[in-house]
């Protein structure tokens, strides 16, 4: 049933995705131009990658209202009601059914060793780990490599494009938004599980993610001068680090020696 429902929509989305990709390539080159124009230009326009700031801020406010009214209470209840071990199991399970997406993107990025590790990992956790509830593979030397199509595009040289605040889903940019859509297509479980199951999966993922970020986001909101700008900065930096897999060192920031 789910398969039938999703298929026609899929074609439409591919077109949309292709159209977005093309405009994205343009965005990418613009961003690169700004960067090569020099550090000063980049510093002067620390927010130049956010041409839709007004709209984004409005969506951010909306998201925060929804968060306070709905998502946060659910995330707190989720934490209070379910024991940590059970929450870990749920997280492991949803991480495990996401492994095919990681695999596809690892292959697309040419990271064949990690791709192979991911296959072994998926097999081990799906069997010994009882359908993915337990993460046995990490301790056996097959760690999780989280990759999405946004990162793949970045590895292929596509710039992040304008920053975009997605309703409910939160901070992103044009490149990562396209990536999210594309990952839905390469995810085999998206076709196998009925639509209701997929919605439930997305919902549980969201609650789980929110639960993990309860303290962090509270901290940022409490301590920042500008919550929106702080989230934007952290999102961008964090994504950049994910693209480098947190391993390959990025360029060393130039912090001058200021005169007394």
Pairing verdict, β 163-166 and 170-173: antiparallel
Where do runs of H (alpha helix) occur along 37-83? 39-44, 53-66, 72-81
Q: Which part of the chain contacts other proteins (CB under 8 A), choosing from 93-101, 103-111, 120-128, 234-242? A: 234-242
Residue 153 CA to residue 160 CA, distance in Å, equals: 9
* Residue 249 binds to other proteins (criterion: CB under 8 A): yes
Reduced to 3 states (helix: H, G, I; strand: E, B; else coil), residue 84 is: helix
> What are the residues whose beta carbons fall under 8 Å from the beta carbon of 113, sequence distance 6 or more?
none
Residue 248 touching other proteins (CB under 8 A): no
Question: Of the candidates 95, 107, 237, 248, which one interacts with other proteins according to CB under 8 A?
Answer: 237
Smallest distance from other proteins to CB 191, Å:
32
Please select the residue that binds other proteins; options are 46, 62, 114, 199, rule is CB under 8 A.
46
Q: Which is nearer to other proteins, 17 or 154 (CB)?
A: 154
Contact between 155 and other proteins (CB under 8 A)?
A: no
The C-alpha atoms of residue 159 and residue 209 are separated, in whole angstroms, by: 26
Binding residue count for other proteins, defined by CB under 8 A: 33
What residues between 210 and 229 interact with other proteins by CB under 8 A? Answer: 215, 219, 222-226, 228-229
Query: Measured between alpha carbons, how far is residue 33 from residues 27, 29, 38, 156 in Å?
Result: 10, 6, 9, 17
Helix (H) or strand (E) holding 130: none
Contact 131, 137 (CB under 8 A): no
Selected from 29, 47, 65, 188, the binder of other proteins by CB under 8 A is 47
In the 8-state DSSP scheme, what is residue 138? G
Among the candidate windows 43-51, 59-67, 100-108, 122-130, which touches other proteins by CB under 8 A?
43-51
141 part of the interface to other proteins, by CB under 8 A: no
The residues binding other proteins (CB under 8 A) are 40, 43-44, 46-47, 215, 219, 222-226, 228-230, 232-234, 237-238, 240-242, 244, 246, 249, 251-253, 255-258
């Amino acid at each position: 049933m789910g398969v039938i429902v999703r298929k026609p929509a899929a074609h439409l989305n591919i077109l949309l995705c292709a159209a977005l990709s093309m405009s994205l390539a343009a965005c990418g080159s613009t961003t690169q131009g700004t960067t090569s124009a020099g550090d000063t230009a980049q510093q002067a326009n620390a927010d130049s990658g956010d041409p839709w700031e007004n709209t984004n801020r409005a969506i951010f406010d909306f998201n925060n209202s929804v968060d306070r009214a709905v998502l946060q209470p659910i995330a707190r209840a989720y934490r209070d009601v379910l024991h940590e071990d059970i929450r870990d199991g749920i997280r492991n399970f949803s991480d495990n059914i996401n492994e095919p997406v990681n695999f596809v993107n690892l292959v697309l990025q040419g990271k064949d060793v990690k791709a192979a590790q991911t296959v072994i990992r998926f097999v081990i956790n799906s069997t010994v780990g009882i359908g993915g509830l337990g993460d046995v593979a990490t301790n056996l030397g097959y760690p999780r490599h989280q990759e999405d199509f946004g990162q793949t595009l970045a590895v292929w040289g596509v710039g992040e494009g304008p920053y975009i605040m997605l309703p409910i889903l939160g901070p992103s940019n044009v490149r990562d938004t396209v990536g999210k859509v594309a990952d839905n297509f390469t995810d085999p479980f998206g076709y196998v599980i009925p639509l209701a199951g997929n919605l439930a999966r997305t919902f549980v993922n969201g609650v789980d993610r929110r639960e993990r970020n309860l303290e962090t986001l509270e901290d940022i909101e409490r301590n920042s001068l500008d919550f929106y700008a702080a989230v934007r900065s952290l999102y961008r930096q964090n994504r950049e680090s994910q693209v480098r897999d947190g391993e390959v060192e990025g360029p060393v920031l130039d912090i001058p020696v200021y005169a007394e």
